[in-house]
Amino acid sequence: MTGDDRRGHRDVFRYPGYPAFWAAETVSEFGTYVTTMALQVLIVVTLHGTATDVGLMNAARWAPYLVLGLVVGALVDRWRRRPVLVATDVARGLLLCLIPLCWHLDRLTLPVLIGFVTVFGVMSLLNDAATQSFLPRLVPPSALLAANARLDQSGAVAQTSGPVVAGGLVSWLGAPLAVVVDAVSYLFSAAAVACIRVAEPRAGTGGRPLNLRREIGAGLRWVYRHRMLAPLAVTTHGWFLFNSMLLTVFAPFALLRLGLTPFELGVALSFAGGGGLVGSLLSTRLGLRWGAGRTVIACRAGTAVAWAVIALAPGDGEAAALAVVAAGQFLYGLTIGAENANEMGYRQAVTPDELQGRMNTTMRSINRAVIVAGAPLGGLLADGIGDRVTLWIGVAGFVLVSVALAVSPFRSARHDDADPDDMEREDGGPVTP
């Protein structure tokens, strides 16, 4: 790696456009925590809904990823990404403003809210696909690790402090009006991205008409036939399966089995944000020293250890339970914080610009589909064989995922080897945008 590349890792904010992009992502990340809490309070308190109603709203939020994810990936690869980011941020901001307006007019019902959330989910899907595909146009491949790490660091701060800020705003303003704070954050994000000056080439379609089947297929082949991305993608789907099972079991386990209060649970969860911040601060150094492959594998093994610590927490209201759970959450956040930038930076670097949208939405859509299956599976297992046993099943799953990735070619993946210009298509031709 050259001296210029190392300086890029240390000072990614020197790239024009990246500071505005980082600011947009950071502000909207904080706002998301406000809406996440506000909508749940809105359903339960304002609309007098049930836990099932909250579940329906959450399903509406993620359903577009399952239904439209692969299609959106193909479309985003044909569009310039900055206009997509600006338009979807504006749309999300306006949608959120309609919620307090309907509440004020006494027209807000659960079906209306679910309708808003569904459209919001479609806009978020488009925005996510464009966001992950836009970053490689702002920084060179050698700086993608650092660029993602900076985003993770601000995200970890939001994870730590966002729920506290959200709780205060919801208590002060009420749930309907608190949503406006997130609306403002999206409008700020749109303005910040609109100010970015970057040359965006049109998609290299060669004048071909849109053929969704062919273009979606190209994205699937790129991910699942790639020597490095295929094992990463498959094991990541497994990671999301076991993680969704454990997250479903965690709150009932902590509240009922361990006897933690809701406040203590919130304190324990804040440790995950703190761990995430530390992990993201270390991610660049670890990735450059160990390589992307070994870093991701070690972090996934560490995630298994984190949940093993939680599974070992003493029950029946013992004072040590909070300390043990908090330690497990800190390690959980630490491993995710250190892994994410390495995983994201590597897969962005090895993927040519023309396939960025399809690569990202292919992996994210199937990950979301796995969550839909894993979350209820975790609940069914906990009710049937016990929450602590289910936790150990999840731990074993994380170990399996780590071992599978460790014996794959991905173990040798390094950031300084990740260059899409050196990759070849499956037909032997060079990859060119």
- The domain ranges of the chain are 1-202, 212-426
Q: How far is CA 279 from CA 67, 155, 283, in A?
A: 33, 12, 6
The pLDDT-based confidence of 187 (bands split at 50, 70, 90) is: very high
Mean pLDDT, range 245-258, rounded to an integer: 83
- Has residue 8 got a pLDDT over 50? no
Identify the residue with better confidence: 262 or 292: 292
The pLDDT-based confidence of 190 (bands split at 50, 70, 90) is: very high
What is the distance between the alpha carbons of residues 254 and 261, in angstroms, rounded to a whole number? 8
% residues pLDDT > 90 (the chain) = 30
SS3 at position 424 = strand
* Res 345: pLDDT: 85
Q: Hey, what amino acid is at 214? A: R
Q: Give the CATH H-level superfamily of domain 1-202.
A: MFS general substrate transporter like domains (1.20.1250.20)
* Res 3: pLDDT: 43
Mean pLDDT, range 144-171, rounded to an integer: 77
DSSP string, 100-160: HHHHHTT---HHHHHHHHHHHHHHHHHHHHHHHHHHHHHS-GGGHHHHHHHHHHHHHHHHH
Identify the residue with better confidence: 248 or 320: 320
Both tokens of residue 179?
């949503």
- Find the range with the poorest average confidence among 29-43, 121-135, 220-234: 29-43
**Residue 78 φ then ψ, to 5°:** -100, -10
- Has residue 269 got a pLDDT over 70? yes
The pLDDT-based confidence of 393 (bands split at 50, 70, 90) is: very high
Would you say the CATH fold of 212-426 matches that of 1-202?
yes
Identify the residue with better confidence: 401 or 12: 401
The secondary structure element, H or E, covering residue 198 is none
What does the pLDDT look like over 353-384, one tens digit per residue?
778 878 888 888 888 878 777 877 888 888 88
* Res 6: pLDDT: 45
Identify the residue with better confidence: 268 or 237: 237
Which of 7-21, 62-76, 105-119, 407-421 reaches the highest mean pLDDT?
A: 105-119
Is the four-CA dihedral 389, 394, 399, 403 of positive or negative sign? positive
Class of 212-426 per CATH? Answer: mainly alpha
Question: CA geometry: angle at 274 spanning 287 and 320, to 5°?
Answer: 120
Q: Hey, what amino acid is at 282? A: L
- Has residue 328 got a pLDDT over 90? yes
Mean pLDDT, range 198-209, rounded to an integer: 63
pTM: 0.73
Neighbour count for residue 422 (Cβ, 10 Å): 10
Q: Which of 54, 193, 173, 27 is nearest to 110 (CA)?
A: 54
The secondary structure element, H or E, covering residue 227 is none
Identify the residue with better confidence: 349 or 316: 349
* Res 202: pLDDT: 63
* Res 53: pLDDT: 72
What is the distance between the alpha carbons of residues 291 and 310, in angstroms, rounded to a whole number? 29
